[in-house]
A and B are shown apart, each in its own frame.
Chain A
Amino acid sequence: GAGVSQSPSNKVTEKGKDVELRCDPISGHTALYWYRQSLGQGLEFLIYFQGNSAPDKSGLPSDRFSAERTGGSVSTLTIQRTQQEDSAVYLCASSTRQGGYNEQFFGPGTRLTVL
């Protein structure tokens, strides 16, 4: 079956512009996660959606970052007024349910470069 997809695969933008990154989770997965991975670093948690519950935004680094999930499926991560330090690979993952025992399925990521 189809896995997690993300678009675009690469995005180059100028400092100060807004960008939108899209994630299509696996159909039926209720949990969706966004992570950020800077060059040579591990994954940094950004935000977590579970069903219709309020999202956990505790990992968002600043108020320039926001995310929404429409209809419990597709999610969009928006970065306003991009800065060079926002350059990273943004990864999305989905899973069937919350909790520590669920497997997360990751998308290929969007590589964001802010010039």
Chain B
Amino acid sequence: NLMLTQPHSVSESPGKTVIISCTRSSGSIASNYVHWYQQRPGSAPTTVIYEDNQRPSGVPDRFSGSIDSSSNSASLTISGLKTEDEADYYCQSYDSSNHEEVFGGGTKLTVL
């Protein structure tokens, strides 16, 4: 079954740039879209990137997404970090072999 592997945690200073990776265990990263969600404590997730690199309306352009076939991974890049970006981030993609959506384990972003 498909697994999406994320770093457990990352930390960076305000104003800097952070990259969160999401590595696909099997099949090509390009074969199914990758979506990214932000979840603050006590709240439901919200989408920050969908379909690899698209931003929903209202999400600042400091958030961007990409995929890299050489490492079979997707990345969420947050530039100009703000303290309000501190949250858990999850990637999601589709496992065609069993028709299931799969979430990565989540990455806790600390902005200090």
Are chains A and B native binding partners rather than an unrelated pairing?
A: no
